[in-house]
């Protein structure tokens, strides 16, 4: 009986130690804040947008296409169209407001690599093309 009593005491002490050791962590927990300059825990840090993000092509609306793969492809196509226009006009200002999702949809035939309606293009190739064109724009504007 003393062995059972001893195990129960040890379990109780262990539980008490666990609870007490967790208290400092609970005291440090904060309500998530949108202020990225505050002392917020990593798990609740908001991502601050900078000026360059203001001209970044946003995520497409969910109703633009049936799947995320297609929406990501149309986003890359829109990035390509914007970068091509910036290069053609030697424009270093943000052209995002001059383009619409309908233009990306309309440009599909130019970027289409397959007759499969669920995989009409290679998104990774579109991303690479968009990245390269945007790098050209940045390099041209840095001159």
- Residues 29-35 have a mean pLDDT of 49
Residue 92's pLDDT band (cuts 50, 70, 90): very high
Residue 23's pLDDT band (cuts 50, 70, 90): very low
Separation between Cα atoms, residue 116 and residue 73, nearest integer Å: 14
Does residue 107 have a pLDDT over 60? yes
Does pTM surpass 0.75? no
Sign of CA dihedral 53, 55, 56, 61: positive
Among candidates 117, 27, 8, 127, which has minimal Cα distance to 65?
117
Among the residues of 2-122, which ranges form H helices? 2-28, 68-89, 101-106, 108-111
Please say whether the beta carbons of 67 and 55 come within 8 A: no
């Amino acid at each position: 009986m003393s062995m059972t009593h001893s195990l129960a005491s040890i379990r109780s002490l262990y539980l008490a130690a666990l609870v007490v050791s967790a208290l400092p962590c609970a005291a440090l927990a904060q309500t998530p804040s949108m202020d990225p300059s505050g002392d917020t825990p990593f798990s609740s840090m908001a991502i601050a947008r900078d000026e360059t993000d203001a001209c970044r092509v946003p995520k497409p609306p969910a109703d633009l296409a049936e799947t995320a793969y297609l929406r990501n492809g149309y986003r890359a196509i829109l990035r390509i169209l914007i970068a091509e226009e910036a290069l053609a006009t030697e424009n270093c200002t943000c052209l995002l407001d001059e383009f619409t999702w309908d233009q990306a949809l309309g440009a599909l035939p130019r970027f289409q690599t397959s007759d499969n309606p669920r995989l009409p293009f290679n998104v990774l190739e579109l991303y690479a093309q968009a990245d390269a064109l945007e790098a050209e724009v940045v390099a041209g504007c840095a001159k």
